[in-house]
């Protein structure tokens, strides 16, 4: 798959399953979606759903998908697979597929995802995806996974962890702005000493790890193991 993210969640499997499979809970922690809703289905059919992402205050991009899950597997793990697509002309993402895998460990769950998609807009879309959109999607997925981990492990709600992240990001940006202004002062004896201090401060603002209750994409694994494979369940789903 094109994108891969993995985290370790020190919580019970049922809690993690519910907070990822129930739409009203999923949309609370996943930065990639503003709204997720199940669509009506007949008995025995895969679950179809609608998703929407608010790109701008006045612009919402929506799409549909189909998903299925296996809760009782011989190895004790669980898997969920989905296919999705968007017909919105402003959606760079045309269609794609992916999976979630839940692997119990001695102290929690190894939770991972792999997914890929086809961009639209021809050559421009492929370039925009490679340079900007795909790295952003990878970061958003990892950040969201860590946000979910904090909710399951520490009881920090997604809304509270978002607010803490915004506050910490604002503090870092303020520090960068102040130190940049100091470094830009006309050179003199006092300001010469301020330049290395400003440089060190700028490095600290960027490199200092976030606090333990603030989501961070850097805490997640972004490189898949050598033998990672798509679950067979994915092949049973028809395009949405």
pLDDT attached to residue 189: 45
Domain assignment present for 51: yes
Contacts of residue 142, Cβ cutoff 8 Å, sequence gap at least 6: 5, 7, 217, 218, 219, 220, 222
Based on the fold, state whether residues 119 and 189 are members of the same structural domain. no
> CA 99, 36, 105, 5 torsion: positive or negative?
positive
Domain assignment present for 112: yes
Based on the fold, state whether residues 53 and 107 are members of the same structural domain. yes
Pair of tokens at residue 189: 């004896």
pLDDT band at 19 (very low <50, low <70, confident <90, very high): very high
Q: For residues 185 and 171, which has the higher predicted lDDT (pLDDT)?
A: 171
Q: For residues 5 and 207, which has the higher predicted lDDT (pLDDT)?
A: 5
pLDDT tens digits along 184-230? 666 554 455 555 666 666 676 677 788 899 999 999 999 988 777 78
Based on the fold, state whether residues 107 and 167 are members of the same structural domain. no
Number of neighbouring beta carbons within 10 Å of residue 124: 11
Q: For residues 200 and 105, which has the higher predicted lDDT (pLDDT)?
A: 105
Domain assignment present for 231: yes
Q: For residues 206 and 92, which has the higher predicted lDDT (pLDDT)?
A: 92
Structural domains counted in the chain: 2
Domain assignment present for 149: yes
Domain assignment present for 105: yes
Confidence check: pLDDT of 183 > 70: no
Based on the fold, state whether residues 226 and 110 are members of the same structural domain. yes
pLDDT attached to residue 166: 96
Based on the fold, state whether residues 33 and 127 are members of the same structural domain. yes
Confidence check: pLDDT of 15 > 50: yes
Domain assignment present for 212: no
Based on the fold, state whether residues 152 and 166 are members of the same structural domain. no
Based on the fold, state whether residues 169 and 221 are members of the same structural domain. no
Q: For residues 189 and 128, which has the higher predicted lDDT (pLDDT)?
A: 128
pLDDT attached to residue 240: 62
Q: How would you class 20 by CB atoms within 10 Å of its CB: exposed for 0-12, middle for 13-18, buried for 19 or more?
A: buried
Which structural domain, as residue segments, surrounds residue 166? 162-207
Based on the fold, state whether residues 8 and 45 are members of the same structural domain. yes
Mean pLDDT, residues 92-105: 93
Mean pLDDT, residues 152-174: 93
What is this structure's pTM?
0.88
Measured CA distances, 39 to 47, 54, 209 (Å):
7, 20, 41
- Where residue 77 sits, what CATH number does that domain have? 3.30.530.20
Domain assignment present for 58: yes
């Amino acid at each position: 798959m094109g994108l891969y993210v993995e985290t370790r969640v020190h919580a019970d499997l049922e809690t993690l399953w519910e907070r990822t499979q129930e739409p009203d809970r999923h949309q609370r922690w996943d930065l990639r979606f503003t709204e997720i809703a199940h669509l009506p289905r007949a008995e025995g059919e895969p679950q179809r759903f609608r998703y929407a992402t608010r790109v701008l205050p006045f612009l919402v991009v929506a799409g549909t998908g189909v998903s299925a899950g296996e809760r009782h597997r011989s190895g004790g793990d669980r898997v969920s697979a989905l296919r999705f697509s968007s017909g919105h002309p402003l959606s760079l993402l045309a269609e794609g597929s992916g999976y979630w895998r839940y692997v119990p460990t001695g102290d929690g769950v190894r939770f991972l995802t792999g997914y890929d998609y086809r961009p639209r807009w021809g050559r421009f879309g492929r370039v925009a995806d490679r340079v900007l959109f795909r790295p952003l999607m990878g970061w958003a997925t990892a950040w969201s996974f860590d946000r979910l981990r904090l909710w399951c492990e520490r009881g920090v709600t997604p809304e509270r962890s978002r607010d803490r992240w915004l506050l910490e990001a604002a503090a870092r940006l303020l520090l960068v702005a102040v130190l940049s202004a100091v470094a830009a002062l006309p050179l003199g004896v006092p300001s010469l000493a301020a330049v290395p201090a400003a440089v060190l401060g700028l490095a600290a603002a960027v490199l200092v790890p976030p606090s333990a209750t603030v989501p961070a994409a850097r805490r997640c694994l972004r490189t898949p193991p050598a033998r990672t494979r798509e679950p067979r369940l994915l092949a049973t789903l028809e395009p949405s």
